[in-house]
Amino acid sequence: MGVDIFKKYIWLISTVNSYNGIGIKELNNLYRDNESISCGEDLNERTFHRWREKIYEIFGIDIVCRKNEYYIDNKEDLKGNNTRLWLMQTIATHNMVAEHSNLKERILIEPQPSCEEFLRPILKAMQNNTIIDIEYKKFNNNQQEYLRIAPYCLKSFHRRWYMLAKKESGEIRTYALDRIYNIKQTNKIFSLPKDFHAGDYFNKFYGIITDNSIPSQNIEIKVFGKQVHYFRTLPLHHSQKETLTTKDYSVFTFYLAPTYDFIMELLSQNSTIEVLSPPTLRNQIKSLLKETLKKYKD
């Protein structure tokens, strides 16, 4: 399938999704006016219905007609599939930026370490359940490891890609793709455990560090001022709830295991938050802040 037709599918999905019902004539006008997608051509009805069928086949998204207007019938399914949603949002954003190429000097995009050369072989190995050999170097030492692993899943976090994989020893570890130096495919097959689900594996954690020795617990955080809006619009974790709202602050609760990633995220919030409970986490944050202050003493 060509990239151009794929972009057109994404354009149709995002356009229909942004309207509370849209007719074929209005769709055609929007399509024709978007010359980066249409090259100034019309979207005829026959092509439109063919695209609808392909979109349902590829993405499982059903564009339905009611009273001569079109809607996405299963919007909740779209929201519930993070991979599908991320893919469409990424391409839809690319389409919008491409429409305004004359503004490229005024659109700044945060760079991300390139892992494209490794994503493809990892995805292929995941698709076929085949073992891969990798050369890997951690940030905390200069020793290069040569590992034979079974890739279980991929996860993006803070502009980096990570792979959860099982080592020959049986240990399950997470590897950052930007610390991989080489990948070799093998013909050796592995069996993905039937009860393994990537979402469940990371469910009780924030980020990519997992530690089952740390129990899930109720965590209360007081968030001050305008930072409340940032928490509301981009929750840190799926368990986040706003349990108290005042003029000056809000209290948010979480149910998760407070691993290193979560603690670092809390520290990055500086004076805009206060950990209320549990006491162990509050004291841990307090100790880390005291250690930080020591570095700034003259």
DSSP of 122-152, one letter per residue? HHHHHHHTEEEEEEEE-TT--PEEEEEEEEE
pLDDT at 250 (0 to 100): 97
Residue-level pLDDT at 148 = 96
Are 98 and 8 a contacting pair, CB within 8 Å?
no
Both structure tokens of 127:
């698709």
Give the contacts of 222 (CB within 8 A, at least 6 positions apart). Answer: 249, 250, 251, 273, 274, 276
**For residues 219 and 51, what is the distance between their CA atoms, to the nearest angstrom?**
47
E strands of the chain, at which residues? 63-66, 69-72, 130-137, 144-157, 160-167, 172-176, 180-189, 217-224, 241-245, 249-256, 273-277
Residues of the chain with pLDDT under 50: 1-3
Q: What is the pLDDT of residues 9-21, one digit of tens each?
A: 888 888 888 888 8
- How do residues 140-195 score in pLDDT, each as one tens digit? 777 888 999 999 999 988 888 899 999 999 999 999 998 999 999 999 999 999 99
Do the bridges between strand 249-256 and strand 241-245 make them parallel or antiparallel, or are there none, so unpaired?
antiparallel
Placement of tokens 């207007």 in the chain: 69
Looking at residue 134, what is its pLDDT?
95
pLDDT given for residue 272 in this prediction: 95
| Distance between start and end Cα atoms, the chain | 63
pLDDT value at residue 1: 45
Question: Would you state the pLDDT for residue 160?
Answer: 87
**Predicted pLDDT at 223:** 97
